[in-house]
Amino acid sequence: NPEELNLFVVPQRVATSGDPWLSMYQHPQDPSPLLALVQADAERGLQDAPWPPVYPKMPNEPPRVAPSRAKKPAATDSD
């Protein structure tokens, strides 16, 4: 039951059952395949996901505004 698993019972549970995340630290995964996917996406022109507005604008991030709300370029005399 998720309601029974809280900050107060976890230390005792780890002491009696062991650390369920121990193997994660003993056998870390190699990030190279993920980095290769990121590089391939960048080479295909895929931009980074838009970050929430409270974060600074990141390099290669698409506009954070919906296309329907984006400012349109000013009309010129030739239009």
More confident residue, 64 or 31: 31
Buried b (16+ CB within 10 A) or exposed e, 26-61: eeeeeeeeeeeeeeeeeeeeeeeeeeeeeeeeeeee
pLDDT reported for residue 79:
54
Asked whether 62 and 75 are in contact (CB, 8 A), the reply is no
Would you say residue 36 has pLDDT above 90? yes
| Predicted structure pTM score | 0.45
Residue range 67-79: mean pLDDT, rounded:
72
Q: What is the pLDDT of residue 65?
A: 77
pLDDT-derived band at 77 (thresholds 50, 70, 90) equals low
